[in-house]
């Protein structure tokens, strides 16, 4: 079954913990990014891991020189199960993160093409190359857009067995039915606002989980 990753981009600690408790029976993984970490601190990652016992991925889109990437990865992977990085900064920068991840048995997920409209400007033209780099480096996952199913399909064909983490369902208007025809078991959809901003995050997470179970 395709897995459900909750993007927990709320900026209040209690709200974050509440949403995790409410939705945990329906979600497979939690993605924590800058909004929540900057509003609280990095230890929120540890707290949410302990509370949920889910896979926790930090979406820090790390994009620096190798030695700085290494420091960011060390700090993040003390608590998180995986970290999202950019590939456009080059092979050495990604490898620096992979080295830290391997030592700790953690995941590195690399962005190929982003899901927002602006990604067609600079990212789309190099996204297939980034997908090839991801495959060459043997990263544990790639981010590819649910908002452009034809691009999702192309990127999936390039990366082969590497798992896909796909944002864009819900608030960004991605078509879940089309996306589920492309994704396979062990891939993930990421859903944020349409769960945590809904009247009942629990019911919304349940609805997505059921769609994934029934393959729509
Ligand atoms: O290409 C990307 N698009 C994207 O939306 C790469 C991402 N990491 N994200 C993240 O996925 C985004 O920062 C947010 O955390 C989540 C999507 O949330 P939502 O649009 O479902 O609210």
Average pLDDT along the chain: 98
Atom of ligand 1 nearest to the CA of 7: 15
Is the complex ipTM higher than 0.95?
yes
- Within a 13 Å sphere around the CA of 95, how many CA atoms are in the beta-carbon half? 6
Query: Please, which pLDDT band fits residue 215 given cuts at 50, 70 and 90?
Result: confident
DSSP-assigned beta bridge partners for residue 66: none
Query: Please, which pLDDT band fits residue 33 given cuts at 50, 70 and 90?
Result: very high
Q: What is the pLDDT of residue 17?
A: 98
CA gap 6, 3 in Å, rounded? 10
Decide: 69 and 91 in contact? Cβ < 8 Å.
Answer: no
Residues 9, 173, 188: CA angle, nearest 5 degrees? 60
Pocket test for ligand 1, best of 115, 144, 170 (most atoms within 8 A of CB): 115
Please say if 64 is a catalytic residue.
yes
Class of domain 3-214: alpha beta
51 annotated as ligand-binding:
no
Decide: 46 and 86 in contact? Cβ < 8 Å.
Answer: no
Please say if 92 is a catalytic residue.
no
* Domain residue spans of the chain: 3-214
pLDDT, one tens digit per residue, over 128-181 is 999 999 999 999 999 999 999 999 999 999 999 999 999 999 999 999 999 999
| C-alpha 141 to ligand 1 mean position (Å) | 15
User: What is the three-class DSSP state of 123?
Assistant: coil
């Amino acid at each position: 079954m395709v897995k459900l990753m909750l993007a927990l981009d709320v900026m209040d600690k209690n709200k974050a913990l509440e949403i995790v408790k409410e939705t945990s029976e329906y979600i497979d993984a939690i993605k924590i990014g800058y909004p929540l970490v900057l509003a609280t601190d990095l230890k929120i990652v540890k707290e949410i891991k302990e509370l949920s016992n889910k896979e926790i991925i930090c979406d820090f889109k790390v994009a620096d020189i190798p030695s700085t990437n290494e420091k960011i990865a060390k700090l993040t992977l003390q608590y998180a199960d995986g970290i999202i990085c950019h590939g456009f900064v080059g092979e050495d920068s990604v490898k620096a993160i992979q080295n830290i991840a391997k030592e700790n048995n953690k995941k590195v997920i690399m962005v190929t093409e982003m899901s927002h409209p602006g990604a067609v400007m600079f990212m789309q033209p190099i996204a297939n190359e980034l997908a090839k780099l991801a495959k060459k480096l043997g990263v544990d996952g790639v981010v590819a857009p649910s908002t452009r199913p034809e691009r999702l399909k192309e990127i999936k064909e390039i990366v082969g067995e590497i798992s896909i983490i796909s944002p864009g369902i819900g608030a960004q208007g991605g078509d879940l039915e089309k996306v589920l025809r492309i994704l396979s078991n062990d891939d993930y959809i990421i859903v944020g606002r349409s769960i945590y901003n809904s009247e009942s995050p629990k019911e919304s997470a349940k609805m997505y989980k059921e769609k994934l179970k029934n393959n729509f």
